[in-house]
Each structure stands twice: as C-alpha cells, then as structure tokens.
Chains A and B, each alone.
Chain A
Amino acid sequence: MVIVLKVCHLYPDLLNLYGDRGNVIAFYRRCQWRGIEVKVEEVNLGDQVDFSSYDFLFMGGGSDREQNLLASDLGEQVENLKTAIEDNLVVLAICGGYQLLGKYYLMPDGTRVPGLGILDYYTEAGNKRLIGNIAVNLQMGDKEVYITGFENHGGKTFLGSVEPLGKVMSGNGNNGTDGHEGARYKNVFCSYLHGPLLPKNAAITDYMISQALKRRNKNFFLNDLDDTFEKRANSVMLERLL
C-alpha cells in the first residue's frame, strides 16, 4: 500500500520570504525519492483548516505588515492547532511563523501584539536587524548535527519553558545574547534559519519525515539517500563560519 503524507503550507502568499517554500520542496522530494506520496495543500486567509488531518505543517516568514493580518485570522483556529500539536503534529515554523506561535511581540513603543500563545516564548523588537550566515549545533534523535542557514530578523526572541532548537556556533540566533537558536516542543521545530533550512540540512528533514510516519503508526524504513550535494553545500558554509 502506498503511504501518503499530507503537507499544509500555511499562507504561502503571506508567509513566503527568502525562499521559504524550499522547505516544502525538500520535504516533498525526500519523501518522493523513497516512494512516499505527498500531497501539498496551500491554506490561505479565510480557509477553515483541520490541522490534525495533516502530517506536516509549514509556516514561513513574512514581513511585519503581513503578520498582523493573519494573527487575527488564525486566532479563530488556535484551539484546533493546539490540539494537533499536542497530538505530535510535525511543524516547521520559520522566522515570522516562529514568532507567531509565541505569546506576543513587543513593539518599541511598548505595545504587545498578541501571538497565538501556543508556545512559551515572546519576541521584542530589536534596534537593529540580526542579519547574516549562521551555524547551529543540535541534537536530532540520536544524531548530533551542525546546520547552516541565513538569518534576517528584527525581532529578538526569548524562551520561557520550551527548549531551544540548538546552540549558536556562529551568528546571532534568537536574540544575539543567550546563544540559543530556535525553539523545540514535541514535534514543533521553530527557527530563524532561512536558507531555506531543510534542503541542505537533510538530517533534520529526514527526522521530521520519520516523526510524521511514527505519528501515523506507519512502519516504514527510511532508507539513506545519496546526500553528497547537500553535505557539500552545508560543509562549505560550516568551513567558512567555524
């Protein structure tokens, strides 16, 4: 029987900066190359979504202008999303999408723009954008990996009770001070890494695929792929940064 995984690309029109759709492409291709069928559905403003029905949810980054628009739209479906996350839905949230899942965004004038409040962290507007190549060290299942990407964010994020995704080896990460990058809760992976993140960090992509399969109780052996190109692209940046 063919295994089918359903991908939800949330607000692709709004949250798609810096080639973020490359993450969906990577998830899709790495499944396809192993004979797993993938259906990508784009969900836009105003659409009703049953998050539990998906296997992978992707939220990209957007400009500030666009983020305001969708916190209110998504607000109505927040319980639905929370339930799916508790039920181990695999989520990748980048930059703006990452900030949105948190408690609030603190503006320079002291206004708190509420987030969805699903994960325990907040973001405050910084006085300068954190921009540049970044290398992060993290634990993915039983593997220790070094990932690379490009960060470009004005907000600084501070974690509460959730774990960071990894340790910053070079670059700024969440806020440029505490050495943390991203956030991790159950199968939710949040990060400031554009690049996009998944294509040249194949270990993360594969781990997410395996978690998605596990959630559906699929017994599927994820065979190794030839990742020569991916590893080379990643190591070029690692050598430059470390």
Chain B
Amino acid sequence: MRLIKTISALWLAKVVMLLSRLLGKGKGSTLPGMIALKIYPGLLHSFSFQLRKGIIIVTGTNGKTTTNNMLAQILAGSGYKVLANLEGANLKKGVTAAFIKAAGLSGKINCDYAVLEVDEGAFPGVVSDIKPQAVVVTNFFRDQLDRYGELDTTIQVVSRALKNTEKVKLVLNADDPLVAQLCKKTGQAAFFYGIDFIETSITGVIEDTKEAKFCPFCGNNLKYNLYHYSQLGDYVCPGCEFRRPEPDINVSRVYKDGNYFYGSMYFDNNNINLSVPAGGVYNYYNALAAFAASVYLGIEPQVSAGVLYNYTSAIGRMDRFFYNDKPVLLNLVKNPTGFNQSLAALLAQERFQNLLIAINDNDADGRDISWLWDVNFEAIEEKENYFNNFICTGKRGEEMAVRLKYAGVSTNKITVEKSLEGAVSAALSQESEVTYLLVTYTALWQVDSILNKKAKRVGYSAESMPSVS
C-alpha cells in the first residue's frame, strides 16, 4: 500500500514538475512537492531511508543556500552522488520536491547524501520526518519576524526540535552566541567552527543591529573581546560559564586580497589554507560552515578547500547582466544585516549608478516590512552624488520611497514606479555607469525574467555583490 501511494504521489508530482516547467511558472521547485504531500503525507519519510550515507540539514537565518550549495559541491567533488534542494526552496514541500526530482519512476533514489537547506520555521516538520546525521546552523539574525513572532521564538523552535531528535551532530558557528548556545540547550554534541580574527578593513564600518546582548543562560550582558559584525565575535558572560566555545575548526586570521578572502587553520596536525572567492566576510563564514561539515563527514580537508577555492555561486543570488555595455547586478535582500552588506558593497564602488529596490510583502518575503527602518540607508546621504535615481517598486515601493526620504535622500532623486517592468526599464535605460537591483524574494524571479528579456546574462559574479542567502 505504501509503495503504491509513494508511486502515485511521485508520478503525479513529476507530471506537475514537467508541466510547470513547460508553462514557465516558477522553477517547478515547490508545487510538485505540495501536491505529492497532499496525496501521501509520509512520502518524505519513506524517501529518507534510501540514502546510502546520510542526510545533512543546513539552517539559520543567512547563508543557508550558499552553505548548502558549497557542501553539495564538496561532496560531489569527493565522488559522492548528492541530492540537494539547490534552488532555495527550503520549506517541507521544497525539500520533498528535491527528493521527487531525484527519484526514478520506480521510486528509487540512487544517492549517497541528501544535503538540504531548511527554513527555521519548517525545521521541526522536516526533522520529524527525516532523521539527519548532522545539522549545520549558520547564524541567527532578525528576519521576517512576523512569520514566527520574534527571534527568540525562532531559536526556540529550532532548539526544541533538536532536543527532541535522537542523537544528531550539530555543526555550529562558535562566533554567534545565539547559535553556540544550541549545544548546551539541546544536549546534542557539537562540532564548532569559528574565526579568531578578521582584518578590520574587511569587517568594515557597517552600522549593524546587534541581536545578542544578553547571556541566553543567565541574562547578564555579554562582554565582547572582539566584534566581527552584528553579534558575531569573541564573547564571554561575566555571570556564568557561557563563552565562545573553542572551535574545532578555528581560522586564525581572515583577510581580503584582490578577489579572494584568505585564511588558514591548524587541523589534525596540518596547516590548511582555506581561501574563498570574495563577496563579503559572511561568505567566508558560509564556506567555513560547509568546510566544517565536510570535515566532520570525513572528507579530506584539502579536497574541501580545493572545491571551495573554485566555488561558483548558485543562480539568482548575484546575477550579472549587461545592458549595452553597462553592468547590471541583481541581488536578493531579506533582512537588515544582508541589506546593509549589499549597501556597503555598492557605496564602496563610487560609480555613477541607478539603484532599483523592489519590496514585496507576500508571505515568502515576510508580510512585515518594518525591518527596512533598521537598514542603514542613512549611509547613502554623503554619497548621494554617485546616484542618478532611486527607483522604488514592488507592492510596497511607496513605503520604500518614504524610507529613503527619511534617510535624507533628495526627493527629486526618488521615483516610485508601480510596474516591475517599467521600473527595470527605467533602471536600465537612465544614465549611469552601473545598475543595481536589490529585490525581495518574490520579486527575484520576476525581475530575473524581465532582465533576461532586456539584458544579456553573463553569469554570476562572486565578487561584485554579496550573497547572503
């Protein structure tokens, strides 16, 4: 009976997958999973036993997609057959769709590892169905608060699910107190990664929203010997035992030179260099998380480092186009930390630019857009001369315009354009040396397909714009 259900759910989902691709609706990445789960809710569970080596889950606020893709590339580069939800479809239906895609028509999955990016809110539902061998947690920042209440709630949701899971290995960011606490909070064993020191010029002066001010165990103010960015750094609680754990994978110093971030560590009696195509120091953290997970899985560190050195990013996160001879860069924004980093990158360019910002407030974007007021748009004021026009669009483009006005941007440089198509046209055609498009999640594919019609895609650039997802 179970087999019949599996097969019928699978076949129908595969048909939907094909159709949605033919019709050009989305990327066929979630709808098939949704339909298959409706027919047979146990589908994911029954699939999960077929992997020869195991399942790795990546969760956290920022860097999930990148970390997951990096880990998948490392494992594939080591000769394993890997199943992954590479398109950022990170709810249960998206995870299910990834299995459906990998399954043969008989329902057989011929893979060693499943490497899955999972949204924090969807995390309990996924781990109750499939038993991961390891869970990687990247960081916790404020993101799309309204879906789950508050950051505390999000952490609690993940923490509780981990506590209720049978033995699982955690791969944790030691530099983020909100992540590092999970080891003690859940009683699960952890493998920690961290960075001792980051060249200050790299961390840059980004006015960040620091999230973790209090010890999660005793409530005292955490003391920092060193801040990297946001709440990441070397912290210690004056009131109890809680402090940055000594990382198993510990990079001594990270610095940027040209198109790369360089760092090295001492591990297993060897000196290992871990160098990653630049983007921002958070990109180094993503690579480090993937590296740590791969080392935990027994991959040769030098092999992992080699794959990461040549890493190419996933679709949609830092797409590069040309319009006539003008470079056009598209990037996803979804929370203050990520937006600040994108903004810092484009302010550092000092090139005459058009900036398009598309803000939607659909469920997948987060219905509450008040986080825009935590983004440091005030940094634009003294570099306003480098901007020709700020084009605000999306369902909440009007409010984005208000945010820019109150950040001190001259109103004659702010345009509200309701239609995405019109906004993209204006951003491309108006005078500038470069055009940036910063968009929220549900605007990403729309803007991407508009750009595909109007401009020439030239691939993905790892150094031009930061990827935060």
Binding site for B on A (CB under 8 A): 13-14, 16-22, 25-26, 29, 63-66, 69, 129, 131-133, 150, 152, 154, 194-196, 199-200, 226, 229-230, 232-233, 236
Contacts and interface: CB of A to CB of B under 8 A. Distances in A.
B370 A18 contact: yes
A150 B369 CA distance: 9
Given A64-B152, A195-B370, 4 more contacts: A69-B219, A131-B368, A150-B146, A152-B368
B233 to A, nearest CB: 16
Interface stretch (B270-278, B314-322, B371-379): B371-379
A154 B145 CA distance: 13
User: 4 shortest A-B CB distances, which residue pairs?
Assistant: A19-B373, A22-B373, A19-B370, A233-B398
Given A196-B370, A196-B373, A226-B411, A154 B401 contact: no
Contacts of A25: 373, 406-407
A131 B374 contact: no
A1 B4 CA distance: 84
A199 B145 contact: no
B156 to A, nearest CB: 11
Contact of A229 (B152, B402, B407): B402
B213 interface: yes
A194 B370 contact: yes
B373 A21 contact: yes
Chain A CB within 10 Å — which of B150, B151, B372, B396 has the most? B150
B152 A200 contact: no
A63 B150 contact: yes
Interface residues of A, dominant DSSP? mixed
8 contacts: A17-B150, A29-B406, A66-B214, A132-B146, A194-B370, A195-B370, A199-B403, A232-B398
A203 to B, nearest CB: 14
Interface string B383-410: 0000000000000101101110111100
Contacts of A230: 402
A131 B411 CA distance: 32
Counting chain A CB atoms within 10 Å of each CB, the highest count among B213, B367, B369, B399 belongs to: B399
Given A22-B373, A154-B149, A233 B399 contact: yes
B406 A21 contact: no
Interface string B116-153: 00000000000000000000000000000110011110
B416 interface: yes
Report which residue of B396, B403, B411 has the largest number of chain A beta carbons within 10 angstroms of its beta carbon: B403
B111 interface: no
Nearest to B216: A65
Contacts of B408: 29
Contact of B371 (A19, A65, A133, A199): A19
Interface in B356-375: 367-374
B35 interface: no
Contacts of A229: 398, 401-402, 405, 411, 414, 416
Given A63-B151, A236-B396, A150 B368 contact: yes
Most B Cβ at <10 Å: residue of A29, A132, A150: A150
Contacts of A154: 149
A113 to B, nearest CB: 15
A152 B411 contact: no
B146 A199 contact: no
A20 B142 CA distance: 14
Contacts of A22: 370, 373, 403, 406
Nearest to B372: A19
